Structure 1
Amino acid sequence: MTVRSRRDSVVFKHSFCIEGIDRPFPPGTYEVVTDEEEIQGLSFLAFRRIATSFRATDSRRARLTIESFDIDPDDLKEALRIDAVVELGDGLSG
């Protein structure tokens, strides 16, 4: 069985929370890693998602630390949606 990992970056412009993680995160760029396994027995190459992790870098400490959290991709989409709505709302005042 073949497993591959895909790395993407997401950018949040505001502080945010992700369901299932008990603390907020500051604005910034974060790495999302999606692990996928090959679906066997097909006449074409196809993969299915088996895990998604969210990686947060904390440079405030004396040593750089990277935390990795297993997340539901739908929870990440929701956090990004809320961040975009907040961004749109910022332009409405004034």
Structure 2
Amino acid sequence: MSDLLYFCLRLFKLSVIVRVGKRYTIVIPKEIRSRVKLREGDQVLVYVVGKSIIIEPLPNDPFKTLEKTLPKQYIEREAEEKAFKWLIKHARNRY
């Protein structure tokens, strides 16, 4: 790592140097865990970009994440009511 890159990363506190332990384990320092709100037992995604290893926290509740990305929240009760009304309307027309 170049001295300039190291200086920039330390200046903005975006990274910390850690040592790889037995069985290739690493300990994520407390200041980083706190910043990304990572707790013991949480899942992370580990992937490679070029020659870098990226560790990205995964959301604890994927349904909450999906709920935030959908334009309108899906509510099962409302969907069931709409389906029931449609069924009643179309059933009356048939008989």
TM exceeding 0.5: no
Taking structure 1 as the reference length, what is the TM-score of the superposition? 0.24
In terms of Rg, which structure is larger?
A: 2
Higher strand share: 1
Higher helix share: 2
Q: Which has the higher contact order (CA 8 A, sep 6+)?
A: 1
Taking structure 2 as the reference length, what is the TM-score of the superposition? 0.24
